[in-house]
A and B are shown apart, each in its own frame.
Chain A
């Protein structure tokens, strides 16, 4: 236990970085995911193709491969950014594919009559998406989005492999000095579990309030 208590500042700093990574990449993923969803349900064939290609590409590559490519490959072609920023961008782009799929399932859950009614009222594609389809779609996918958030939190630990000192890296460093893997990694694991539990609690509450009864 003292192995954790003696190193609380390191753990705290690692946890802060993990929370930053999680929050920033989830926000980024939400924005990109929304755009991809709009493309996938749009009437323009080319946009639908791009959207499909995006989702297929990112869902079929391991995140660690993308991270290593971005950190060690991009500098070879002259693009070098801060490690934390690189990790945020890569995780956001990767998770956007999953958010897009969740949102698309929400859009599919909205009955066709709603879209037809919106068109009959003279709304444009953008307007009907914004005012009619997406609000209902979002309410349907609160729980899946919560699950993606939890998965994203766990995925941030891969950033430790490319030099970001997050909670995982901090735990590794402390263990190196204290040589007590069981309490240290159980402690770090509990911190991750706590973040996941909070996310689960919030989405559960939101779901009950927002659910569309059909």
Chain B
């Protein structure tokens, strides 16, 4: 009996604690910057009921009440989990939430941390509805999955330790040890521009930066936005030259689902036209890249999209 009473007391206390927490949530946000994502999503469009065709993927998602997104939790500015709020933040993450709102009327997403080696399988077996994960559109991949977009265009660039000389352009990589993220488009790109480069790969971006600082390689090849973000945080690393590739990012969809692809492309055109795309960029990538938001890429302009 005593233990029952004690349990009841514990439960009561924890309920009070919970309600106290939720009380602060309803007021003004305690975390600075939190409002930006909210504002953005408040302005995000919702699809007309007629666009959710019966029997379509959109309808299935709507019935389920949540959009399942394949994404990352460790890509700064693109899709990174905020350790204090638990929210996933960044350009890719916000795009996923905006698409969820377009379908469901509310930005309800479940992010499945999909590694780049499993994206195709997760899409084809229906584990995830869409992939927002710096997913570069290539003709080989387009045989396995469908790509809406491109929704963003990026490029690979070089980062070195501050004070390194003799590396300014991709051709300088020949004969050097080059660090790249495992499973990133950097690996084939390096092989193409500098066949004599020795490539070492590490799991994620933080490991690669650490390896560069510990002189396991002379240069780190990665998406320019990631490199700029890193260089901003860590002054011992600097970005050299300008991007030497064009990586059009697409929204990965199940292969052959033309209906859903058209639906997502229509949404992309809509948010590009009403400025939501540009605002999403400014809130994420735009916080480290100088200048105005770039012109969004033309939908369907890339082979494979």
Complex: A72 Cα to B206 Cα, angstroms: 11
B207 touches A172 (CB 8 A): no
B144 touches A180 (CB 8 A): yes
A181-194 vs B, Cβ < 8 Å mask (1 yes, 0 no): 11001000000000
7 residue pairs bridging A and B, Cβ less than 8 Å apart? A75-B215, A162-B202, A163-B211, A176-B187, A179-B140, A179-B144, A180-B144
B207 touches A176 (CB 8 A): no
Within 8 Å of chain A (Cβ to Cβ): is B214?
yes
B145 surroundings in chain A (CB, below 8 A): 179
Q: How many residues of A contact B (CB 8 A)?
A: 23
Q: How many residues of B contact A (CB 8 A)?
A: 27
Q: Find the A residue at minimum CB distance from B184.
A: A176
Complex: A68 Cα to B206 Cα, angstroms: 12
With contacts A83-B216, A179-B141 known, is A172 near B183, CB below 8 A?
yes
Least CB distance from B179 to A in Å reads 8
With contacts A163-B200, A165-B201 known, is A179 near B120, CB below 8 A?
yes
What does DSSP make chain A's interface, helix, strand, loop or mixed? helix
B211 surroundings in chain A (CB, below 8 A): 72, 163
- For the complex with contacts A169-B182, A179-B140, 8 further pairs of A-B residues with Cβ separation under 8 Å are A72-B207, A80-B216, A160-B182, A172-B182, A172-B183, A176-B187, A177-B188, A179-B120
Within 8 Å of chain A (Cβ to Cβ): is B117?
yes
With contacts A163-B200, A163-B202 known, is A176 near B188, CB below 8 A?
yes
With contacts A72-B211, A172-B183 known, is A185 near B200, CB below 8 A?
no
Within 8 Å of chain A (Cβ to Cβ): is B275?
no
B210 surroundings in chain A (CB, below 8 A): 72
A176 touches B216 (CB 8 A): no
Within 8 Å of chain B (Cβ to Cβ): is A205?
no
